[in-house]
Structure 1
Amino acid sequence: MDANKLLSRHGAGEKDFSGAILHQANLKNTDLSGINLCAADLSGADLSGAKLRGCNLSRANLTDADLSGADLSGANLSEINLIGAELINAKLERANLQKADLRSANLVNANMHEANLTEAELSGADLTKANLNYANLSNSNINEADICNVDLTKSNITNQDINQTQHPTGIPHRWVSWAGSH
């Protein structure tokens, strides 16, 4: 399926595009809020500036996709593949990223307020200046991630080992739990 066909069918009211193959599709600045793209292949797609509020992208492949400035608030992104994806300034408030693969993703200045990142894979990700307040990062892997200037206010960061991360000085080398603190 190409991007134009998806947009035409979506414009006619269709919402279920689970399993769609949209490799390298140009969906820049489109409004796809509430769409079901479960298990879809959007690898290399341009979704920068797209509105994807409340959509279902669980188990979708967005490897190397551009989601810079995209609004994914309240989206189901569980078990999504976002390896190497660009998520600069993305809005991910209250998004479900449980077991998401965000290795080497660029999340600079992303807003992940109240996001569920339980068991997420964030190794090598750039989280510089990301907002993770009230987020749940329990049992996620942030090994070799850049967490400089990250807002972790009231976040649950249970069982985090930051020995291999880039982080500000003064943070303990072993986070047992910061849930409810700071």
Structure 2
Amino acid sequence: MSPFAVLAEADFEGAILKGVDLHGVVLNKANLKNSMLADSDLSGATLTGADLSGADLSDADLSDADLFNANLEGANLKGANLRGAYLRGVNLRGALMTDSDMTSANLTGADIYGAILTNAVMPDGKIHG
């Protein structure tokens, strides 16, 4: 049995989960739209196809998380740790990503149109201001 919780397709729309430890949790196709996840630990979590549009993930730890095809449109990722995250095919349109760290993240096919990337550390390690 896996030591991590499996909450696939769970509905947490608008939930307040600030500072929660969700390390390694499986939230595939979960609805986290407009949820508050600031300061939460989502490191190593699996969020494939999850809807995080409008979510507050400021200062959250998403290192090594799998966000394949997730929707983060308009999400607040200010100061988020996305080191080594799998962001392939992610919708980041209009996301606030100021001061986020995406070192070694995979952004292949990600849609970053209109995203605010001020002082974000990009996958190649360069800071773009």
Stretches of structure 2 lacking an aligned partner (at least 5 in a row)? none
Asked if the contact 2:50–2:70 (Cα under 8 Å) also holds between the matched residues in 1, the reply is yes
Which structure carries more helix by proportion?
Answer: 1
* Separation in structure 1 between the aligned mates of residue 50 and residue 56 of structure 2, nearest angstrom: 14
SS in 2 for 1:108: coil
* Separation in structure 1 between the aligned mates of residue 123 and residue 67 of structure 2, nearest angstrom: 20
Consecutive aligned runs of 4 or more in structure 1 exceeding 4 Å deviation: none
* Structure exhibiting the larger radius of gyration computed from Cα positions: 1
Asked if the contact 2:32–2:50 (Cα under 8 Å) also holds between the matched residues in 1, the reply is yes
Spell out, residue by residue over 1:11-38, the C-alpha distance to the aligned partner (whole angstroms, 9 max, x if none): xxxxxxxxxxxxx7xxxxxxxxxxxxxx
Aligned residue for 1:169?
Answer: none
Aligned residue for 1:161?
Answer: 121
Counterpart of 2:46 in structure 1: which amino acid? E
Stretches of structure 1 lacking an aligned partner (at least 5 in a row)? 1-23, 25-42, 166-172, 177-182
Asked if the contact 2:29–2:48 (Cα under 8 Å) also holds between the matched residues in 1, the reply is yes
* Separation in structure 2 between the aligned mates of residue 146 and residue 115 of structure 1, nearest angstrom: 18
Aligned residue for 1:70?
Answer: 30
Counterpart of 2:34 in structure 1: which amino acid? G
Cα distance change, pair 163–85 in 1 and its aligned pair in 2 (3 A): closer
| Correspondence 1:136 to 2:89 | no
RCO higher in structure (CA 8 A, sep ≥6): 2
TM-align CA RMSD: 1.5
With normalisation by structure 2, the TM-score equals 0.94
Aligned length: 128
With normalisation by structure 1, the TM-score equals 0.67
